[in-house]
Amino acid sequence: MSTALVILAAGKGTRMNSDQPKVLHQIAGAPMLVHAMRSAEALEPSRTIVVAGHGLVDVQAAVADYAPDVEVVEQAEQKGTAHAVDAAREALAGFQGDVIVLFGDTPFVRAETLQNMVAARADHAVVVLGFEAADPGKYGRLIMNGDQLDAIVEFADASDEERAVTFCNSGVMLSEKSALFEMIDAIEAENAQEEYYLTDVVSIARSRGLSVTAVACDESETLGINSRAHLAQAEAIFQTRARTELMDMGVTLQQPETVMLSFDTVIGRDTVIEPNVFFGPDVTIESGVHIRAFSHLEGCHVSRGAVVGPYARLRPGAELAEDVRIGNFVEVKNAALDTGAKVNHLSYIGDATVGAATNIGAGTITCNYDGVMKHQTTIGANAFIGSNTMLVAPVSVGNNAMTGSGSVITKDVDANALAIARAAQVNKLGLASKLFELLKMKKKNRYQEAK
């Protein structure tokens, strides 16, 4: 049966104390809303609808950036969770199948958990996601009778016996579309807040003789983010999970708690990650790579056998072929380095291509920006760029060519040529001692004047 997702993302998130919509606050480099969307991708939903309210335009932009085919609908007034789901009714008019209701501020529900809910739907009209709470607090309680969910009882309405129940409601729900909206039509706002609650679907379904059940998940999956403290907690949960998954797949993290990963980081087996490495979004590391300490990577691809760092920065567009060496205090941006190329010390390589087995000396800079436009530097294979060379783009250096240390290269260098572009050295005999005496006298006079 086809599945559609309805993700509720209309809340303002007052406790975040922010002008930004709550669901756009980031975890591991992506809005928490994106994490919620990703959690259900394994179900291959035929439709995904995001219900937004506060910050509608910003939510639309974030959704379009991640998944342009996802539709965002507006809940102009926030009148409860059932009212929010109802905002997706028109968008789902032509859809036939099951609907899963998720929350944009609950980003950690696992794909396996959602698949368990889908499996349970084969025997039940409504499936609710619950969790065993270490501290149930004021969560709604799931009152079970065998595999049947008799009721969701809110804490304020619960008896002492019901409050002793530790199986709690996450809010996530699954039902067939037509039945779901028919039951939403029957919900009344008979509560102090005058809101329409999705939890009432359970009692309506039971009154109609429909089978309702609950599927359990780990409590950490249901973490709802309502404050900056929750956001920090969520970041810690994500990082712990992601690090464990990498190590289980054969990646060595020498000091796991110091490595920060992004939501989409991909690292191959037998790669070694030293302490204090940061991975921003869109990083792919192949197998057998060594990332040394205090390196920062984002938007880059590193091939098998490469070594990066320590203290290196790979920016978006950095493409390292096999066995490339990027050393300490080297920055690479929008540049492709071919097999075995080396940039070992204190250099900036931006908007460039570097050929196979080329060696870039310390202090080299590709001067790619003229204040208005970016320009390209092309360096061939087996070239040697002397230390402290300034390559003023657009410029090319041919295969097997060399540049002399300290050169400012403004013209193309032919293959096999040696380019030297620096002022002639002049030695003024005895001038150093005379200059030192003059400077010392000036310093003495200033001191006396100050007194």
CATH classification (class only), 228-419: mainly beta
Question: What is the band of 191 on the pLDDT scale with cuts at 50, 70, 90?
Answer: confident
Question: What is the band of 84 on the pLDDT scale with cuts at 50, 70, 90?
Answer: very high
CA gap 242, 234 in Å, rounded: 12
- Residue closest to 79 by CA, chosen among 225, 188, 209: 188
- What CATH number does domain 3-222 carry, 3.90.550.10, 3.30.450.40, 3.20.20.100, 3.40.50.2300? 3.90.550.10
The first and second tokens of residue 251, run together, are: 């990646």
Residue 152 identity (one-letter amino acid): I
Task: Choose, from 83, 230, 345, 375, the residue flagged as catalytic.
Answer: 345
Q: What is the pTM of this model?
A: 0.88
Q: Is 124 a catalytic residue?
A: no
Give pLDDT, residue 451.
72
Question: What is the band of 234 on the pLDDT scale with cuts at 50, 70, 90?
Answer: very high
Average pLDDT over all residues of the chain: 95
Question: What is the band of 4 on the pLDDT scale with cuts at 50, 70, 90?
Answer: very high
pLDDT single digits (tens) 268-302: 999 999 999 999 999 999 999 999 999 999 999 99
Count CB atoms within 10 A of the CB of residue 433: 8
Classify residue 120 by its DSSP letter: H
Give pLDDT, residue 449.
83
**Cα separations (Å) of 448 from 316, 434, 435, 443, 445?**
55, 21, 20, 9, 5
Look at residue 13 and tell me whether its pLDDT is greater than 90: no
pLDDT single digits (tens) 297-341: 999 999 999 999 999 999 999 999 999 999 999 999 999 999 999
Look at residue 157 and tell me whether its pLDDT is greater than 90: no
CA gap 415, 378 in Å, rounded: 12
- Residue closest to 225 by CA, chosen among 106, 113, 323: 106
CA gap 21, 10 in Å, rounded: 8
pLDDT single digits (tens) 365-411: 999 999 999 999 999 999 999 999 999 999 999 999 999 999 999 99
| Domain assignments of the chain as residue spans, ordered by start | 3-222, 228-419
Helix (H, G, I), strand (E, B) or coil at 160: helix
CA gap 82, 88 in Å, rounded: 10
> What mean pLDDT is predicted for residues 239-267?
98
Look at residue 424 and tell me whether its pLDDT is greater than 90: no
The first and second tokens of residue 264, run together, are: 């989409």
